[in-house]
Amino acid sequence: MFVLLVLNAYKTMLKKIIYILLLLTGHNISGQNIDSLINELKTAKDDTSKVNTFLELGKTYAMWGSYDTSKNYINNAILLSTNISYKRGLAKSYNFLGLVLCEIGDFEGARGNFELAIQIRKKINNKSDVIASIMNLGMVYDFQGNFSKALENYFIALNYYENNGDKNSCANTLNNIALVYFTQEDFKKSLETHLRANELYFKLKDKEGLSQSYNNIGNVFLMMNKYNDALVNYQKSLSLKEELKNFRGIAITYDNLGSVYKQIKNFELALKYYFLSLNLFEKIGDEVGLAGIYNHIGIVYLYQAKIAESDKFLNKALHFASKTGSVEHIKLSYEALTSLDSLRGNYKGAYFNHFKYIEYRDSIFNQENTKKIVQQQMQYEFDKKTIADSVKVAEEKKVVFAQLKQEKTQRFALYGGLVLVGLFGVFMFNRFRVTQKQKHIIELKEKETLAQKHIIEEKHKEITDSINYAERIQKSFLATTEQLNQNLKEFFILFKPKDVVSGDFYWSATLNNELYALATADSTGHGVPGAIMSLLNITSLEKAIETETTPDKILNLTRKTIIERLKKDGSPEGGKDGMDCSLLVFDFKNLKLQIAAANNPVWIVRSSVAGALEANDNTFKNFNSTFSIYEVKPDKMPVGKHDKQDVPFTLHEIDIQKGDLVYTLTDGFPDQFGGEKGKKYMIKNLRELIISIAHLPMHEQKQILEQTFNNWKGTNEQVDDVTVVGIKI
């Protein structure tokens, strides 16, 4: 149950699905086969032609996934370009080698080659090629999780391509910008940007671009839980990739198809597509792809509680993620390993892995990244406006010069121009001084903000660690799964604390007379104060059962212990805290049930066919033609200091039958605000819901109760801890 909760939370927070680099962005792929290219190499008339043929061979082998052979040909091109001082060919070689290294996950090597290409292209003043390498460098930053630097490069490239009418490069750049939004979980903006790119690819009849675009649109729909839309787009992508024989792209699309089926819990189909993807990634030696697919397979096995298989694949994923430096995959591996260690009871390992997960998550998704991303987008919009204004000014100058030429006042124009330049220079100097002063002020404020942020983060970490440790302590006091399974046939426990720790608790014990006791309780308060109070209440119950065996006397003695202990809190009258509680004692051999209840009712549901139940003061009340319900009315007083603290709790003794259903609860569920009018759910509605689902298996009842609670709550804050316990006799 704990693992399912972790995985459900993990599913909603799924982080980036590995995406595609356009390996040959800005290049045309030759349709020549290997033999004809080798023949061209042998018959080349000059060294420049040899360089270009080496690169064509490198591109061709890269497209087929033969990266080692591809690198050999590109290195030959680099060596020959250096020997003949062919700078354009050298820059092109470094740029393409960077793309190949990026494909196999060597991001540091890729970055170094792109930077070399940019330096050479700037020296030979080749603006379009400089922008292409800047774009590629942005993709490396993107893969390494440096999203602010990635967007900085992408927006520089997009500005240039838009102003030069290069629709193909605009589409590629929009595609990569959309992927950054996707990583930051802004799915609406990501989808809008992907659709812009898709429209351009379609107009250009670019099958490679369209195949990638459909894949990425599918990724966004997957994260928005629109699974049919995701499958449609993945299938479109797969058809195009198979037509193009893009093996890496096929592997990625298989991976994504597996992810859709994993989300809808069709694990058989999910594993089928995942292993198809794994085989292709292994064949082409793609270590980034291997990191992702090993993670996905390990998570499916985790869902299926296949511990050994999950451990094997998740650790392989972490190995390749660490080797390639893919921060996103490292984070995903540690998150899944946290759940795995929790499932097998290795809480020390779970704590370590969760700590590492938080560390890598924060390095990707932090305030600084978010702030810089906004800044980059604003800079892009500002640059576009500046260019538009400069065009307008240029048009105005044309009119002025035409008038001056018409009037033949060249000397006046010259002097006027010099005066304007001088005035503009003075204006720019003053603006520079103001800007520098503002920059200095901003830098000081940023340093102060950074220092305060660091202090807050440290305090937050200390508090979070303390609360998490308190949660582990509190869990050790609750009824264990092993204990519940040994004594109960079928049951469920819906336990949803408002905060990390809880004032609600469920506790059980075997009494001195060998009967089984189960308590469902709501301590005063919630969060940390409620959790501390719950520990006091549990220890008081444990003390009471040393001498008492009936639920009424156990609660009487528990109340006495709580009051005595809270007299020492320093207040004049002693603490008035305690708990609302229903305590059940089961005699399964003789089919007897004893109940004592403080403020919280107990419901017993029986099939109408089985007949009515005779109790102290009530019989079953017919609710519908299938089931009847009997409510054990609680004593209207808490287990703690109260006006009625000297009044004994009432003992209810009931004959039960096999198949009877017993429900206990705290007030968190019925008191939750929600629905269309923001009202409380109410205990009457909860009772009716229980009756309507009583015919279902216990685990399905729990799912419906939890789903109903979440739907009712909606976007409202949870008002209190929630506990509902169901037991089938």
Query: Residue 618 above 50 pLDDT?
Result: no
> Using CA atoms, how far apart are residues 305 and 84, in angstroms rounded to an integer?
62
Tokens 């792929």 belong to which residue? 29
Residue type, 324: T
State residue 391's pLDDT score: 44
What's the whole-number mean pLDDT along residues 114-128?
92
State residue 387's pLDDT score: 45
Query: Residue 622 above 80 pLDDT?
Result: no
What's the whole-number mean pLDDT along residues 233-244?
94
pLDDT band, residue 616 (cuts 50/70/90) = very low
- Arithmetic mean of pLDDT over the chain: 83
What's the whole-number mean pLDDT along residues 367-373?
48
Query: Residue 257 above 90 pLDDT?
Result: yes
pLDDT band, residue 42 (cuts 50/70/90) = confident
What is the value of pTM for the model shown? 0.41
The token pair that represents 51 in the structure block: 């360089």
C-alpha distances out from residue 375 to 147, 152, 450, 692, Å: 12, 9, 17, 54
Query: Residue 25 above 70 pLDDT?
Result: no
Instruction: For residue 432, count CB atoms less than 10 angstroms from its CB and return exposed for 0-12, middle for 13-18, buried for 19 or more.
Output: exposed
86-90, 124-128, 586-590: which range is least confident on average? 124-128
State residue 19's pLDDT score: 34
Most confident among 179-183, 303-307, 663-667, 675-679 (mean pLDDT): 663-667
Query: Residue 466 above 80 pLDDT?
Result: no
> Using CA atoms, how far apart are residues 2 and 394, in angstroms rounded to an integer?
67
C-alpha distances out from residue 692 to 112, 471, 669, 704, Å: 66, 34, 17, 11
Q: Tens digits of per-residue pLDDT, 526-579?
A: 778 888 899 999 999 999 999 999 999 999 999 999 999 888 766 656 667 899
Domain residue extents for the chain: 411-472, 478-728
> Using CA atoms, how far apart are residues 724 and 669, in angstroms rounded to an integer?
8
Q: Tens digits of per-residue pLDDT, 647-706?
A: 999 999 999 999 999 999 999 999 999 998 889 999 999 999 999 999 999 999 999 999
Report the largest interatomic distance among the alpha carbons of the chain, rounded to a whole angstrom: 119
- Please give the backbone phi and psi of residue 258, each rounded to the nearest 5 degrees, phi first: -60, -40
Please, which residues have CB within 8 angstroms of residue 383's CB and are 6 or more apart in sequence?
Answer: 155, 159
Between 199 and 402, residue with greater pLDDT? 199
Please, which residues have CB within 8 angstroms of residue 584's CB and are 6 or more apart in sequence?
Answer: 517, 518, 519, 551, 593, 594, 595, 602, 662, 664
Query: Sign of the C-alpha dihedral, residues 550, 552, 555, 556?
Result: negative
- Please give the backbone phi and psi of residue 550, each rounded to the nearest 5 degrees, phi first: -105, 145
pLDDT band, residue 406 (cuts 50/70/90) = low
Tokens 């037509």 belong to which residue? 243
Query: Residue 615 above 50 pLDDT?
Result: no
Between 381 and 116, residue with greater pLDDT? 116
CATH of domain 478-728: 3.60.40.10
C-alpha distances out from residue 551 to 31, 584, 652, 727, Å: 84, 7, 9, 18
β pairing state of 516-523 and 639-640? unpaired
Query: Residue 504 above 60 pLDDT?
Result: yes
CB of 687 within 8 A of CB of 621?
no
